[in-house]
Chain A
Amino acid sequence: MIELLTDYGDDILAGLLGTLLIVGIGFLLGTLGGALLAVPLVSTSRFLRWPARSYVELIRNTPFLIQAMLLFALFGVLRLRLDPMAIGTLSVAIYTAAYMAEILRGALHSVPAGQSDAAHALGLGRLLHFRLILLPQLLPFALPAGVNLLATVAKESAFLSAVSVAELTFAGQVVIAQTFRVFEVWAIVGALYLLLVLSVLAAARQLERRMRWTGSA
């Protein structure tokens, strides 16, 4: 175990860094996309709502591995050359956006519609209305749910090893191919994921608790 860590520790850490990068950047991009998607999702116009709803349902009702494989195949068929890390990050973003949009839609629906009329009557502009009225009420719900989603995404990202993206699980496979230390490597890789995911989940719980105490004020 010790010499495994001294000889191949760097490779595993490089894989962990890959996972952190893919999940971190992909999740941020996906959150942005989710926020943009949430707007048509709560729209009263059917023509705006329908495409956004279709996207969300397509992503939420298919496995992440299939989505990632499709994206890789699509880049191949179109003869677009892009780094596997970048395609992996993109697939994380596509996945995150759908779930994040749904979280934000739920949060937006919990705010009574009359408030927007009231804010308008008070002479608040769009930006002030969002910052002062909507955001403080969205966050107590959306923030813990969003952090929970981050934990899910971090776990799903392990599937990217199947399409040869240089992340933590793939690094584990490479080290096993060189050392044949099957159990030890998966135990180490598993411990790293556990540490990552459980600390994200703990942060979500902490946020949930804090938001509850301060209420929506």
Chain B
Amino acid sequence: MSIAAEIAVEVAETVPLLLDGLVITVAICGLATLFALVASVLILLARRSGRRWLSWAAIGYVSLMRGLPIVILIFLMSFGIPALLDLGRVSAFWIGVLALGMNGAAFLSEVLRGAIARLPAGQTEAAWALGLGRVRTWRLILVPQLLPVALPALAGEVGFLIKASPVLSLITVVDLTRRSQQVTMQTFDPLVPLLAAALLYFLLIGAIALFARWLEQRLAKRIAGR
């Protein structure tokens, strides 16, 4: 049997050992996406509030998230800030959710802001002329048009966060990456557990990317069909 086939068999045998880690990775990224969704709406509200200090705070926050590597953000949140405030030990799992969610929220808010900016201003004026209030204008007119952009973006966000999620392994969360390192420590094989982890990441991120694209096309078709 060739070396490649041998390695393929070993990788297939290692995959089941990594599933615990995969579950943790998916759980944290899923929770972080929920957090990001809520937080991105809050960021947008702050930005559109008309109060200068609030919109400046939102812009500053988004810039901070765009400029800071996720590695540094998570080190600051799990080691730096607890040391500064003398918090003692913090839960690495929830710090992971928070850090990935904070990062995702900034990017999601930018996507939503771009989508809102593309909506024709005349629609809001027309809705107001028809006597629709602010809330009903958003609910009935604007949000349904934002969904075809927002839903694929949200799906893409999960994939984006999973790609960033090996950062969790750096703060001792036993995610997919760290789980593969643990297997390496038991088997002394540096390559196969990593290959198995890479395969799982690839399948997961690839599937999410395909789903996001499918959703985008489907929603675009529905809008066009109307």
Contact = CB atoms under 8 A, between A and B. Distances in A.
A193 B201 contact: no
A63 interface: yes
17 contacts: A61-B201, A61-B205, A62-B201, A63-B165, A66-B201, A77-B190, A151-B66, A159-B166, A161-B71, A172-B75, A182-B80, A182-B84, A183-B83, A186-B75, A193-B69, A194-B64, A201-B66
A197 interface: yes
Interface in A142-169: 151, 154-159, 161-162, 169
Interface residues of A, number: 38
Interface string A51-94: 00000011001111111011001101100000000000000000
Contact of A73 (B68, B79, B190): B190
Given A63-B166, A65-B177, A186-B75, A193 B190 contact: no
B170 A162 contact: yes
Nearest to B209: A61
Tell which of B67, B70, B206 has the most Cβ of chain A within 10 Å.
B67
Nearest to A194: B67
Nearest to A155: B69
A67 B197 CA distance: 11
Interface in B164-199: 164-167, 169-170, 177, 190-191, 194-195, 197-198
Contacts of B81: 183
B16 to A, nearest CB: 19
A195 to B, nearest CB: 8
B71 A158 contact: yes
Interface size class of B (residues with CB under 8 A): 35 or more
Contacts of B64: 194
Tell which of A61, A70, A197 has the most Cβ of chain B within 10 Å.
A61
Contact of B69 (A58, A61, A74, A169): A169
A132 interface: no
A111 B177 CA distance: 41
A158 B164 CA distance: 12
Contact of B194 (A57, A73, A157, A183): A73
Contacts of A185: 80
B63 to A, nearest CB: 6
A58 B209 CA distance: 13
A198 interface: yes
Interface of A: 57-58, 61-67, 69-70, 73-74, 76-77, 151, 154-159, 161-162, 169, 172, 182-183, 185-187, 189-190, 193-194, 197-198, 201
Nearest to B77: A186
B72 interface: yes
Tell which of A66, A155, A162, A169 has the most Cβ of chain B within 10 Å.
A66
Contacts of A186: 72, 75-76, 79-80
Main secondary structure of the interface of B (DSSP, over half): helix
A187 B190 contact: no
Q: Kindly list the 7 A-B residue pairs having the minimum CB-CB distance in the complex, ordered from nearest.
A: A158-B69, A158-B71, A183-B84, A182-B83, A65-B166, A183-B80, A73-B190
B211 interface: no
Contact of B164 (A63, A183, A187, A201): A63
B163 interface: yes
A190 B66 contact: no
Contacts of B67: 193-194, 197-198, 201
A92 B157 CA distance: 23
Given A63-B164, A159-B167, A186-B75, A70 B68 contact: no
A97 B163 CA distance: 17
Contacts of B191: 70, 73-74, 77
B206 A61 contact: yes
Tell which of A77, A159, A186 has the most Cβ of chain B within 10 Å.
A186
